[in-house]
Amino acid sequence: MKKRLSKIIKLNHSKIKSNIIQIATILLILDQFTKILVMTNLKELKDYIIIKNFFSLYYIKNTGAAFSILENQTIVLIILSLIILVILNNYISLLTKSSKLEKLSLGLILGGILGNLIDRLLYNSVIDFLSFRIFNYNFPVFNIADIGIVVGVTLFVLSTIIDNISEKDAKKIDIEAEIKKIEDNTKTIKSKKKTTSTKKKTSKKTSNKRKTKQ
C-alpha cells in the first residue's frame, strides 16, 4: 500500500514538473525568437510606431531590472536570478498536487526569469522592445519574458487565494460532516435508550400480570 502510494505521488510530481517545464519552454522560445527578430530587423533606440500614441516597437538594451532598477549591475541581477531559480526549483520539487492555474503561473515565472537571464549572460543586458503610451505616460519598455513574470506572479497570488478559500470550504464541510455524525450518533443512542426502556417497561408489565394470575 505504501509503495503504491509513493508511486502515485512520484507520478503526480513528475507530471506537475513536466507541465511547468513545457509552459516555461514555450514562453522561453517565444521570448528568445522575438528578441532575435528585433535585434536583426530593428535599429536600437529607434521608435517603430504600430498604433499612433499607444503602441510602438522600441529596441533598447536594458542593463538594469524593471524600471531601470540596479542599472549596470548585471552580475548582481544574474546572482539574484539564480537564487530565485533555486527557490523556484525547490518549491516545484515539493509539489505533489497542483492546480492548472498554479502550474501555469510557475511555468510563466520560470520561463520569464530564464529568458532575461539568457540575455544578461549573452549580451550583458536585457533586450526590450515593447513600448506603450498610456494616458500620455510612456510606460517602461519591456519584453515577452517580463510579461511572463508579471502575469505569472499575479496568477500565482490568485491561485494561492483560491486554494486557501477551497481549503477553508473543505474544512467547513468536514466540520459540518462531523457535527452531523455526532448528531446522528446522539439520535441513535437516544432511540436505543428509548427502545431499551420500552422493552423494560413491557417486561415489567408482563411479569406483574403473571404475578397477579398466580
Q: Cell 527557490, residue?
A: 87
Question: Is 186 within the bounds of a domain?
Answer: no
Question: Is 10 within the bounds of a domain?
Answer: yes
Instruction: Name the domain count of the chain.
Output: 1
Active site residue 184: no
Name the active-site residue from 31, 119, 128, 163: 128
pLDDT digits (tens, 9 = 90+) for 135-157: 888 889 999 999 999 999 999 99
Name the active-site residue from 31, 47, 146, 174: 146
Distance (Å, whole) CA 21 – CA 2? 28
pLDDT digits (tens, 9 = 90+) for 160-172: 999 888 776 656 5
Q: What pTM, to 2 d.p., does this model score?
A: 0.75
Question: Is 82 within the bounds of a domain?
Answer: yes
Question: Is 205 within the bounds of a domain?
Answer: no
Q: Which domain holds residue 54?
A: 2-171
Question: Is 212 within the bounds of a domain?
Answer: no
Q: Cell 513528475, residue?
A: 14
